[in-house]
Structure 1
Amino acid sequence: MVRLAAFDLEGTLVKSVSGWVELHKKFGTWEKGKEYAEMFFEGRIDYATWAELDASLWKGHTKEEILEWVESVELMEGAYELFDFLRENNFKMAILSSGLMCLARKIADDLGADYVFANELVFDENGVITGKVIPRVDFVGKGSILRALKKELSPELTVAVGDGYNDLSMFAEADVSIAINPHEGVEGDHVVENLYEVIEIIRGLIEE
């Protein structure tokens, strides 16, 4: 018997809202980054192009600088307790982020997630950002990733937890969706304010 829980990362499991934005501000490239974001949301460029344009602004910066930011990102209260609870109840845990793998991988390791999907900055042999990015999770791609995991695992229950528009495709694939402090217009089967409430909802589902 396997169950599956899929999570957004930023704004859901960690207090960072957008690694892309935070790194733009760290590197002083936010004005240009904001312009590229507007181009994407106006439909003038696709997600892969947007990601690469963003990454191109950071060319020459180092992995050490990225990891310095990663280390500064705090987990949401209740994250460890939630993942411990899920493990004890036969869940496989997946993190699906349209942010950066540098952060997603660390959080997945810290929490003991079974799967992690995110976009990867490309570094050269000296750990310098090349300006290239491997876009593994586009703005609407979480649904197809979750669908593939369901096909692989055949879970008896699939729960998705997130907060933004790019989580809606994931919500559509789940048996139960939980929106945590959701952005305006984002709805789930349940709406919660913290991860402790997520534990109680899932507890209720598996005890039915």
Structure 2
Amino acid sequence: MLLDKFVIFDLDGTIIKENSAWEMLHKHFKVDPSIVEKNKELYEKKIIDVDRWIEMDIKLWKNPHKKTIEDVLKKYTLIEGIKEFVEYLKKRGFILGIVSSGIDILAEKVADELGIDICYSNSLIFDEKGFLIGGKGNVDLLRKKEIAKNLSEKFKIPLKNFIIIGYTGYDMIDGVGIKIALNPKEKLDADYT
């Protein structure tokens, strides 16, 4: 029976133990963390948009092949109990989705593994030979609420019937029914921690 409830999960640091698919790749490609932090600051100050931020970050990897990226991103660990929790919610009729500012390759793999049908994340773009040539910012870290509103309209479920589960302030969307902070690294505006 459908309960007219929607659960939005963040991915990195929430469903998987790793805090960021981007960090996984930056570490693998030995990117200088100070450059990554400068790029993030430009984005957070709204000097650049999410597409430009992605473009600047992926240029630091020097056009790797898709297989290399897949190999790095397949080394994730699900948090303990997440499979059972997702099954519990599905059996009770909740609609489940992942909304992640992470990377599609990882988000879609995890969504498939857990049987979560709705997945929004940022895309990497590859040429016909499989080399990375760009990216698309489908999930703007600062605008996750817009995706929640779109899902609310699409499924005709009021935003107050949404539950959001994440671990950063970016995940704690105003207007949803319940905000759950899972293993937050800072104090968040959440209903439950």
Q: Could you say whether these structures have the same fold, taking a TM-score greater than 0.5 normalized by the shorter chain as the test?
A: yes
- Please tell me the residue identity of whatever aligns with 1:164: T
Identify which of 103, 119, 134 aligns with 1:100: 103
1:168-187 superposed matches below 5 A: 168-169=172-173, 172-187=174-189
Deviations 1:48-73 (A, max 9, x none): 21111111222420111111112101
- Find the aligned partners of 2:151 and 2:44 in 1 and give their Cα distance: 28
Q: CA 1:48–1:60 in 2, change beyond 3 Å: closer, same or farther?
A: closer
My pick for the range that moved more, 179-188 or 100-109, is 179-188
One-letter code aligned to 1:18: S
**Structure 1: how far apart are the matches of 2:153 and 2:63?**
40
Kept in 2: contact 1:146–1:173 (CA 8 A): no
- 8 A Cα contact 1:58 1:129, kept in partner: no
Which of 20, 25, 47 pairs up with 1:44?
47
Number of matched residues? Answer: 188
Give CA-to-partner distance per residue, 1:133-165, whole Å, 9 cap, x none. 110001122111111111121237321101112
Match for residue 165 of structure 2 among 148, 161, 165 = 161
Please give the per-residue CA displacement for 1:66-117, whole angstroms capped at 9, x wherever unaligned.
1111210110011100110011000110000001011100000000112000
Q: 1:190 is matched with which residue: 166, 189, 192? A: 192
The amino acid that maps onto 1:105 is E
Higher helix content, 1 or 2: 1
TM-score scaled by structure 2? 0.91
What amino acid is the match of 2:93? Answer: N
State the TM-score, normalizing by the size of structure 1: 0.85
Deviation at 1:39, TM superposition (A): 2.6
Tell me: CA distance 1:145–1:42, structure 2 relative to 1, closer, same or farther (3 Å). closer
Find the aligned partners of 1:8 and 1:144 in 2 and give their Cα distance.
15
Q: Does structure 1 retain, via aligned residues, the 8 Å contact 2:24–2:73?
A: no
Deviation at 1:186, TM superposition (A): 1.6
Letter in 2 for 1:124: D
Q: Cα RMSD over matched residues? A: 1.6
